[in-house]
Structure 1
């Protein structure tokens, strides 16, 4: 399928496979399905409007939220080894956002002399344009082929190369259920050539108290981030969900080994989503799940990768064993 929109300027190319209209259609479908389900649920991708992005950036700097710091430390220590092993001419970053941590990989691959192209992949066209503009200044010789799309439909549009390093960082894979992770990893494997390497960041199982604190900080930033999804629904779908009528919860599920973020209705209430002609009742204390964040063990993620056709070659953790970064190749 050809892109809906294509911008091509010098070394900067942005292919748009997911438009604002597409996202609006997805939001409407997700809200209708999620708010009529039992229990109610909304996907975490709808946290990330401009306000949500700013709040999450603030979360990554909170003392309770360790994953970003731990992953950065691992990448800082091992970026040269990652670059030397992959010898990648193309760096692909899935869910790239502002590509801040990726600078470590870009530097290391540039030092090896192999890097020719960077492919940031994200749902947000504005963010990708900002990344492309920034790299035009800092790395004018680097080709940037940005791709606006989502993991469910557009991985097949990733450009192939002799040697790709595909980075999926931040333990974003933990936001998927096990069957979704298998499907994602299998789709990614289907795009891979023999020279490709997968770089994966995964948060690890640890003391539940620390895990809950990372998603329920004392300053209330995560609570604001969680409640912002209601503001997004209200704005985009003409809703009247009351953000003050819900309390933030972070709950550890020991059986699934994941954190759930939820919004608990403080009272019996009814919301109206006018664009969907939908009335949504909430009982007092009823909970709306907004995110899962799975935590991993080495044997578990290695098995999941193998089931999708990947073979793990490297595994690094921080000294405290909080977070892991791994490398895998097509099996």
Structure 2
């Protein structure tokens, strides 16, 4: 797909915007296919419309949700070491422009020549890119609206800079392990030999702490999960009754993953893009997996993808980890 490129001035900097956003037809096909499965599924990438991105930012501030603050602490303590590993004056690709605190911490340490955030949520991406262009005068910002979970080509090339990628938040846990390996292999191909990937990975821990992080007392995660149905209603002409579904998150110890579901509270039929889907009482839509890893297990997965583990940093309680991987 040929990108639509625009340039805007953002206070002290400039943002080049490259639109590779999936078309509505892509979303329609994916939703219909997922709802037709015996275990109905929807991709977590569909969470991130403007409201979903806002709600996720709110989740990151919750006391129960340890990953964000723990990862930020690791970045603050070890940012200088990470910058040395990634290389100065790099082209830094951020996959999923999430917490601005995380990327600001890394940008302050690394001072890359080019910063390229890639995200599926256009409004969130643009706001983040403009804020960072203003905060880091002289930084060349190329914001790419794309589905990074699928193959895409960088809209601009900078052969004179080493390439590095940042994938924070343990978003790699949203992939099934074999899909995670394929995803990381695609990232490695974008980076090229010697390119480095800095990636956040949540670690296996107590079941109760994990489940509390995805079932917060204020119900923000529940609202985030249910907003997926609101988006489908709006964009695909569906008629989901949000009062007829409830949020649930459980840790599946056998598979080492937290699973998020939307549970139908009654027998019902739902219309989506002209198709009818029946739900029995208690039937669920599986909306997200969040795999948790041991450090050696994740390094084995990275090796399967073609990366070598170069260094790993954790917090004192070993709740979370940040890995520097090099593409061979």
Please confirm whether the aligned pair reaches a TM-score higher than 0.5, indicating the same fold.
yes
Does the 8 Å CA contact 1:155/1:188 hold for their aligned counterparts?
Answer: no
- Name the CA shift for 1:173/1:117 in 2 (closer, same or farther; >3 Å): same
Deviation of 1:137 after TM superposition, in Å, equals 2.3
Deviation at 1:191, TM superposition (A): 1.6
Count of residue correspondences: 321
Structure 2: how far apart are the matches of 1:23 and 1:293?
Answer: 26
Please give the per-residue CA displacement for 1:231-276, whole angstroms capped at 9, x wherever unaligned.
1111111111111111211111112110100011111111112xx2
**Equivalent residue for 2:157, pick from 152, 159, 165:** 159
Structure 2: gaps (5+ residues): none
What is the correspondence of 1:189-228 to structure 2 with a 5 Å cutoff?
189-228=188-227
Structure 2 distance, partners of 1:2, 1:265, is 41
Task: Report the counterpart of residue 325 of structure 2 in structure 1.
Answer: 328
- Indicate if the aligned counterparts of 2:50 and 2:124 stay in contact, CA closer than 8 A: no
Q: Distance in 2 between matches of 1:155 and 1:176?
A: 21
Does structure 1 conserve the Cα–Cα contact (< 8 Å) formed by 2:202 and 2:293?
yes
Q: Which residue matches 2:72?
A: 72
Shift of residue 125 of structure 1? 2.7
Alpha-carbon offset, residue 164 of structure 1: 2.0
Equivalent residue number for residue 17 of structure 2: 14
Alignment-derived partner of residue 280 in structure 1: 277
Q: Is the 8 A contact 1:147 1:158 kept in 2?
A: no
Preserved CA contact (<8 Å) 2:48 2:121: no
In the alignment, is the contact (CA less than 8 A) between 2:41 and 2:285 conserved in 1?
yes
C-alpha displacement of 1:134: 2.0
User: 1:43: which partner in 2?
Assistant: 43
Q: Deviations over 1:175-232 (max 9, x none)?
A: 1111211111111111223342110000011011111111011111111111111111
CA distance, structure 1, for counterparts of residue 51 and residue 16 of structure 2: 27
Alpha-carbon separation, structure 2, partners of 1:140 and 1:92: 18
Aligned residue number for residue 184 of structure 2:
185
Matched position secondary structure for 1:314: strand
Per the alignment, in what secondary structure is the counterpart of residue 172 of structure 2? helix
Shifted more, 45-54 versus 156-165: the winner is: 156-165
SS in 2 for 1:191: helix
Distance in structure 2 (CA, Å) of the matches to 1:59 and 1:258: 19
1:155 touches 1:187 (CA, 8 Å); kept in 2?
Answer: no
Structure-1 separation of matches of 2:156 and 2:316: 34
Question: What is the CA-CA distance between 1:13 and the residue it aligns to?
Answer: 1.7
CA distance in 2, matches of 1:23, 1:261: 26
Name the CA shift for 1:32/1:6 in 2 (closer, same or farther; >3 Å): same
Contact 2:310 2:325 in 1 (8 A): yes
What SS does structure 2 have at the residue aligned with 1:327? strand
Per-residue deviation, 1:156: 5.1
In the alignment, the residues of structure 2 paired with residue 9 and residue 51 of structure 1 have an alpha-carbon distance, to the nearest angstrom, of: 24
Which residue of 2 is the match for residue 258 of structure 1?
A: 257
Deviation at 1:50, TM superposition (A): 1.9
1:88 positional shift: 3.3
Q: 1:134 to 1:160 in 2, by over 3 A?
A: same
How do 1:27-176 residues align onto structure 2 when only pairs under 5 Å count?
A: 27-89=27-89, 90-97=91-98, 99-110=100-111, 115-151=112-148, 152-155=150-153, 157=155, 159-161=157-159, 162-176=161-175
Q: Which secondary structure state, in structure 1, belongs to the residue aligned with residue 239 of structure 2?
A: coil
TM-score (norm 1): 0.92
The CA RMSD over aligned residues, in Å, is: 1.7
Q: Distance between the aligned counterparts of 1:307 and 1:155, measured in 2?
A: 22
Is contact 2:120–2:147 with CA below 8 Å preserved after alignment? Answer: yes
Q: Following superposition, which runs of at least 4 residues in structure 1 exceed 4 angstroms of deviation?
A: 155-158
Query: What is the CA distance between 1:155 and its match in structure 2?
Result: 4.8
